[in-house]
Amino acid sequence: MSKYDLIIRNGMVVTNKAVEKLDIAVVDGSIVEVAPEISGLSKEEIDAKGKYILPGGYDCHVHFNEPGRTNWESLLTGTSSLAAGGMTSFTDMPLNSTPVTTNGKNFDLKLEAAKKNSLVDYSFWGGLTPNNLEDLEELAERGVVGFKAFTCFSGLEEFEGADDWTLYRGMEIAAKLGLPVSVHAENRDITNKLTEKFIKEGKTSPRDFLNSRPEISEVEAIQRVILFAEETKCKLHIAHVSTAKGVQLVVEARKKGIDVSCETVSQYLTFTEDDLDGLGPIGKCCPPLRAKDTKEKLWEHIVAGNVDAVCSDHSPAPFELKKDSNFFKVWGGISGCQSTMNVMLTEGYHNRGLSLVDISKLLSLNPAKRFGIKNKGEIKVGYDADMVLVDLNERFILKADELFYMHKVSPLVGLEFKGKIVRTILRGKTIFQDGKIVSEPIGKFLRP
Ligand SMILES: [Zn+2]
């Protein structure tokens, strides 16, 4: 009789303290032993000699489009992309699937779809909009990790941005429910008025779009929602911070004892506004790409430990929606969820000396802790056996046909990366290996 289901031998294991050569044993999807040498029979053995083993990543911010806009990105294509990128769990945003996740009934539709089609473990954000304050409790009962609100136009008519009253009241309710509110923080008036003005003047180039969403619009909105968090005692999470000043506000708020965390997104760590002309529509996102100086300061914040999580904000759409000559009318959103770990290994580990321990905290442990996802994010006894085997020194140029996205376009195509994901394991089962998905959808629902 085998004592174990799986033993991974000889790998360099990234724990939350160090990188060490260790064996890992798994029973029933959980890690049961981590030690320099594990003896005993196992049904399956993997020799990870020469490979690094990181905890499977947790992408806390993606926009998959099932149900309702499954032709933009289905759960199967989206989660296959995550698996290929070393990510073993995610939290889906309440938009751009349809109906939007703003009440229990709509939540149930999304949960049903994920049960059938998700290759990795899944969880959900509920929406916080002017129309659903009375539905937040029901969403909490269903098991959302928290509530997502926009301080500006969301891009979708059916998901209204939150006015100050909605935010304030919604955060009071969320505080009572013990759940965080995640905010897309850009000032609505500044972004709307500049957009109107530029369009009226016929200024509709990528550069005009950048100028319509200046740093101050993000910084002001972050400051305002931090004030609401202080007053309501609501846990606050700032989504996709694109400015160093925004992170600085979070740092200062924490010093005052306010419960606030923040994430940034791999695109702000890879590209700058100067890249947008060359990228065109596939590089459009909100908040937009920033100046080179801002990008480097964001990295400094990451190295200093001031950013809690790095995620993808994967936001795909059919290419037909990205063709307008008026850049303001081009559908925004970047596809990148297959490459988050590659960006962190290349730009973080190899180019800036960020440790693998810190990278695994940013990609796995910190967001899992923040959003109450239990037994995820660490290679540790008792935790889910979610792991990714990486060839740390292999270089490759990302090609479109290697993407698992429904629409194989991404600004990251053509970039050279160092550090290749060779195998992804979810709860002890290999789901991705050597460029191929090798499992049925076996994802499970995660709730705080
Ligand atoms: Zn988003």
Residue 278's identity, in one-letter code, is G
CA–centroid distance, 93 to ligand 1, in Å, is 7
**% pLDDT > 90, the chain:** 98
CA–centroid distance, 61 to ligand 1, in Å, is 6
CATH of 4-53+381-395+417-437, one of 3.20.20.100, 1.10.10.10, 2.30.110.10, 2.30.40.10: 2.30.40.10
Please work out, in degrees rounded to the nearest 5, the angle formed at the alpha carbon of residue 185 by the alpha carbons of 288 and 309: 80
d(CA 79, CA 371) in angstroms, rounded, equals 19
pTM for this prediction: 0.98
Radius of gyration of the chain from Cα atoms?
21
pLDDT on residue 320: 87
| Contact (Cβ atoms closer than 8 angstroms) between residue 413 and residue 48 | no
Please work out, in degrees rounded to the nearest 5, the angle formed at the alpha carbon of residue 334 by the alpha carbons of 205 and 92: 140
Give residue-wise pLDDT tens across range 245-304. Answer: 999 999 999 999 999 999 999 999 999 999 999 999 999 999 999 999 999 999 999 999
CA–centroid distance, 23 to ligand 1, in Å, is 37
CA–centroid distance, 65 to ligand 1, in Å, is 12
Residue ranges at the known binding site: 61, 63, 148, 184, 240, 313
370 sits in which H/E element:
helix 366-370
CA–centroid distance, 78 to ligand 1, in Å, is 14
CATH classification code of 57-371: 3.20.20.140
Is residue 22 pLDDT above 90, yes or no? Answer: yes
Residue ranges at the known binding site for Zn(2+): 61, 63, 148, 184, 240, 313
d(CA 446, CA 448) in angstroms, rounded, equals 7
Closest by Cα among 1, 39, 3 to 23: 39
d(CA 36, CA 99) in angstroms, rounded, equals 50
| Contact (Cβ atoms closer than 8 angstroms) between residue 46 and residue 76 | no
Secondary structure (3-state) at 7: strand
Cis ω for the linkage preceding 367 (within 30 of 0): no
Domain boundaries along the sequence of the chain: 4-53+381-395+417-437, 57-371
Please work out, in degrees rounded to the nearest 5, the angle formed at the alpha carbon of residue 284 by the alpha carbons of 103 and 301: 85
Q: What is the ipTM of this complex?
A: 0.90
CA–centroid distance, 289 to ligand 1, in Å, is 14
Q: Is 144 exposed, middle or buried (0-12, 13-18, 19+ CB in 10 A)?
A: buried
Question: Do the domains 57-371 and 4-53+381-395+417-437 match in fold?
Answer: no
Closest by Cα among 125, 52, 44, 131 to 344: 52
| Contact (Cβ atoms closer than 8 angstroms) between residue 150 and residue 184 | yes
**% pLDDT > 70, the chain:** 100
Give residue-wise pLDDT tens across range 56-84. Answer: 999 999 999 999 999 999 999 999 999 99
> If you average pLDDT over residues 212-231, what whole number do you get?
98
CA–centroid distance, 242 to ligand 1, in Å, is 12
